[in-house]
Amino acid sequence: MIKFTINKEEILFSKTLEMTKNINEAIMRLNELVRKVIRGDREGVMSEVIRIKAIYERVAMVREEIVSMLYGEAFLPDFKESMMMLNQALYNTMKAIKDSGRAISSRKPNEGLLKALSDGLLTYLSTVIEGGEKLTEMISYMKTDMKEAIRIGKEIQLLERNGDDIKDVLIQKLYDSEGIADVISVLQFKDVIIFMDDILDYMEEATLSIETLYATLKA
């Protein structure tokens, strides 16, 4: 078991954990946003967009603090690179959440497409929610038990593969429903699906960064 006791590393891991907690909050807001889109609560949708944007800005600020620490302190190059990869993956996860919310709220969705895809979108979001919870759990183990962090990362990778299956079904349903909507509406939902898929893809990238970090520390 590898443990970290140096204060500057503890600060790094604490800030990284803060990023994942914010990501979890943003995921819950995105889930609520999509539900409000389905209910036709336009005012509520825009409120959630604003909340997600605020969380995104917090994550971006914490990321800048981490980058500043990594380049301002005497960390080993391999450790620094692995932590940069991890925090970039977390930032990209947050950005994909923001982009998903923006895509589905940028214009009033076609009602026929929304009805055809709403159940699938909510199913996909339940997978994203689970992934976000495991992401925070994985990061919380970084300081005390890297092997456990990697084990949880493997579970996130499995969720990402499950998400790919749901995405494929959603894309097929979208193409099957093309006849009931204009091109712009179809492209809108395609963007929503792609950005949601990016959320889990970047979570998976974060798990790979943990594996790289562990290999670096063992070397």
pLDDT tens per residue, range 38-53:
999 999 999 999 999 9
In a domain, 86, yes or no: yes
The pLDDT of residue 2: 47
pLDDT above 80 for 72: yes
User: How many angstroms separate the CA atoms of 215 and 209, rounded?
Assistant: 10
pLDDT tens per residue, range 102-130:
999 999 999 999 999 999 999 999 999 99
In a domain, 1, yes or no: no
The pLDDT of residue 102: 97
155: which 2 tokens?
């579970």
pLDDT above 90 for 66: yes
Domain span at residue 51 reads 7-218
* Pick from 82-86, 154-158, 182-186, 215-219: least confident: 215-219
The pLDDT of residue 4: 47
Type of residue numbered 78: D
Number of domain units in the chain: 1
pLDDT tens per residue, range 204-219:
999 999 999 888 877 6
Q: H or E segment at 17?
A: helix 7-39
Residues 58, 22 contacting (CB under 8 angstroms): yes
Residues 210, 138 contacting (CB under 8 angstroms): yes
Band of pLDDT at residue 143, cut at 50, 70 and 90:
confident
Instruction: Count how many residues are written for the chain.
Output: 219
In a domain, 157, yes or no: yes
Residues 199, 131 contacting (CB under 8 angstroms): yes
In a domain, 2, yes or no: no
In a domain, 115, yes or no: yes
Q: Domain containing 51 — which CATH number? A: 1.20.58.220
The pLDDT of residue 53: 98
Type of residue numbered 5: T
In a domain, 134, yes or no: yes
Average pLDDT over the chain, rounded to an integer? 93
In a domain, 145, yes or no: yes
